[in-house]
C-alpha cells in the first residue's frame, strides 16, 4: 500500500520553510495541507505573505493557501519546522504534546536527552529514543525529532564511514560557509563583499558537540556521546549556497589511502537499503581532480543530497586531510528533514 501523509510547515515563509515547499512539490508520500508563520503573515495568502526567493514559481496549490498561526490545530498528520529559534522551542513542544510528530531544523531541542538528533544514513537506530520520549513526556502520537546544523551534517556524513571502519580519535575542521546559511537578508553586502567574516555565532560549539551525539551509542533513555576530540573554526564567505569544509582526522587504526577511498565510495545507509524517495543513490561522492569539490560546481550533486569529498591526502600532523562540500539548505537543512520524515514513516513513528 502506498503511503500518503498530510504535512504542515511551521515557519513556512522563511528561507528553510520555502525550501521545504520547493522540495516537497510532487513528493510521492507527503502532501502539504497547511502553512503557518508569525502574526505578521497569518491570515494572508501564502504568495503575499512570503517573498519567494527559491528558483521557479511557488507551487500553485501552496501559493493560494492562507497562512495560519503556529498553533497546534493544523489540518495535517505531522509538521516540519523551519521556525526562528527564538520561538521554535515552546511552539514545537506544544505541537508534539498535541499529537503531531515534529521534524525540526531548529537548534532548540537538538541536545535534549530524549530527542533524536538524526541523519538517516548515520544513526537511524537512534529513532528508538522516540518510545522513551513519548513515555517520558506523556506524548501520545506526537514526538520531537531534529536534524543537525548544516555544517555538522556534511562533516558527520563524511566522518561516519571512517569512524565505523577505522575509529576516529581527533578531528580538526575549518569551514567556508555560504551566505544562504544566514537566512535572508543575512549578512550585509558591505560586510561580505571582498571579504571573509571569521565568526558565525554558536557555529563552532554546534560543530564540536553535535557529531558526538550523532556518532554516539543508543542507551534506552539517552545517547552516550562518542569519545572523539573535535576542534572547529567557522568562516562566512562570499558564496551563495554550499558549505566547504577542510577536515583533518586522526584514526585509531592504520589505513592506506585506497582503503579510505573505498570506504567512502562503498558507503551506504538505511535510506539507500530502504530505497526511500529522497535518498541519494550515493550519500558520498569522491572526486579525484586536484581542484574539487567546489561549491558552484558540486553542490547540486544528486539533487543536493550527496556530500562531495575530495583532495583526500596524507596529513603531516594528523593522519589524513580532505575537503568536504555540503549543500547547506538542501542536505544541510530541509532535504535531511524530509529524509528523516521518510525514515520515521517507514518505521511507523508517523
Ligand X SMILES: NC(=O)c1ccc[n+]([C@@H]2O[C@H](COP(=O)([O-])OP(=O)(O)OC[C@H]3O[C@@H](n4cnc5c(N)ncnc54)[C@H](OP(=O)(O)O)[C@@H]3O)[C@@H](O)[C@H]2O)c1
Mark residues 145-174: x for contact with ligand X by CB under 6 A, - for none: -----x------------------------
- The active-site residue out of 109, 126, 243, 327 is 243
Backbone φ and ψ of 157, nearest 5°: -60, -40
For the question of residue 243 being annotated catalytic, the response is yes
Beta-ladder partners of 303: none
277 CB neighbour count, 10 Å cutoff: 14
The three-point CA angle 238-304-319 to 5° equals: 75
Strands of 68-69's sheet, edge to edge?
68-69, 30-37, 5-10, 78-81, 101-104, 143-146
Place of cell 577536515: 247
Burial 154-174 (b: 16+ CB within 10 A, else e): bbbbbbbbbbebbebeebbbe
Q: With respect to ligand X, which residue has the nearer C-beta, 13 or 133?
A: 13
Of all residues in this chain, which one has the CB nearest to ligand X in the complex?
A: 14
Q: Which of 150, 234, 282, 327 is an active site residue?
A: 150
The answer to the question of residue 199 lying near ligand X (CB under 6 A) is no
Q: Which of residues 49-88 bind ligand X (CB under 6 A)?
A: 70, 82-85, 87-88
- Which is nearer to ligand X, 11 or 269 (by Cβ)? 11
Q: Note if 150 is an active site residue.
A: yes
Q: How far is the CB of 77 from ligand X (least distance, A)?
A: 21
- First-residue to last-residue Cα distance in the chain: 16
* The residue to which cell 554546534 is assigned: 206
**Closer residue to ligand X, CB minimum distance, 38 or 174:** 38
Residue of the chain from 180, 263, 308, 336 that contacts ligand X (CB under 6 A): 180
Q: Which residues from 296-335 bind ligand X, rule CB under 6 A?
A: 328-329, 332-333
Q: Does 123 bind ligand X (CB under 6 A)?
A: no
Least distance in angstroms from the C-beta of 8 to ligand X: 13
Nine-digit cell string for 253? 587504526
**232 lines the binding site for ligand X (CB under 6 A):** no
Tell the smallest beta-carbon distance from residue 152 to ligand X (Å).
10
Which residues, 6+ apart, have CB-to-CB distance to 283 below 8 Å?
Answer: 121, 157, 267, 268, 269, 271, 272, 305, 306, 307
- The residues binding ligand X (CB under 6 A) are 11-17, 37-38, 40-41, 70, 82-85, 87-88, 105-107, 150, 180-181, 183-184, 328-329, 332-333
Catalytic residues: 150, 243
Amino acid at each position: 500500500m502506498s503511503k500518503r501523509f498530510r504535512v504542515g510547515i511551521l515557519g513556512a515563509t522563511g528561507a528553510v520553510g520555502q525550501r521545504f515547499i520547493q522540495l516537497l512539490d510532487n513528493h510521492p508520500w507527503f502532501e502539504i495541507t497547511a502553512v503557518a508563520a508569525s502574526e505578521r503573515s497569518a491570515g494572508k495568502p501564502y504568495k503575499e505573505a512570503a517573498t519567494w526567493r527559491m528558483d521557479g514559481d511557488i507551487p500553485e496549490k501552496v501559493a493560494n493557501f492562507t497562512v495560519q498561526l503556529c498553533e497546534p490545530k493544523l489540518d495535517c498528520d505531522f509538521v516540519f519546522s523551519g521556525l526562528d529559534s527564538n520561538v521554535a522551542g515552546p511552539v514545537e513542544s506544544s505541537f508534539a504534546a498535541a499529537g503531531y510528530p515534529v521534524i525540526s531544523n531548529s537548534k532548540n531541542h537538538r541536545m535534549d536527552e530524549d530527542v533524536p538528533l538524526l541523519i538517516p544514513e548515520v544513526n537511524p537506530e537512534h529513532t528508538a529514543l522516540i518510545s522513551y520520549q513519548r513515555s517520558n513526556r506523556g506524548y501520545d502520537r506526537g514526538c520531537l525529532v531534529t536534524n543537525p546544523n548544516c555544517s555538522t551534517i556534511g562533516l558527520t556524513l563524511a566522518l561516519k564511514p571512517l569512524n565505523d571502519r577505522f575509529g576516529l580519535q581527533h578531528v580538526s575542521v575549518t569551514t567556508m560557509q555560504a551566505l544562504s546559511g544566514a537566512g535572508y537578508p543575512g549578512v550585509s553586502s558591505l560586510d561580505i563583499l571582498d571579504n571573509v567574516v571569521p565568526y558565525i555565532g554558536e557555529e563552532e560549539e554546534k560543530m564540536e558537540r553535535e557529531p558526538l551525539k550523532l556518532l554516539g551509542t543508543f542507551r534506552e533513555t539517552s545517547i552516550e556521546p562518542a569519545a572523539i576530540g573535535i576542534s572547529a573554526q567557522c568562516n562566512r564567505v562570499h558564496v551563495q549556497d554550499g558549505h566547504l569544509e577542510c577536515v583533518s582526522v586522526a584514526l585509531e587504526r592504520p589505513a592506506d589511502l585506497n582503503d579510505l577511498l573505498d570506504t567512502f565510495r562503498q558507503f551506504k545507509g538505511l535510506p539507500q537499503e530502504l530505497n526511500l524517495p529522497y535518498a541519494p543513490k550515493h550519500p558520498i561522492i569522491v572526486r579525484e581532480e586536484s581542484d574539487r569539490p567546489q561549491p558552484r560546481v558540486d553542490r547540486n550533486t544528486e539533487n543536493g543530497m550527496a556530500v562531495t569529498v575530495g583532495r583526500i591526502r596524507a596529513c603531516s600532523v594528523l593522519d589524513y586531510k580532505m575537503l568536504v562540500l555540503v549543500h547547506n539548505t538542501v542536505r544541510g537543512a530541509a532535504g535531511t528533514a524530509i529524509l528523516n520524515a521518510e525514515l520515521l514513516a517507514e518505521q511507523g513513528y508517523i
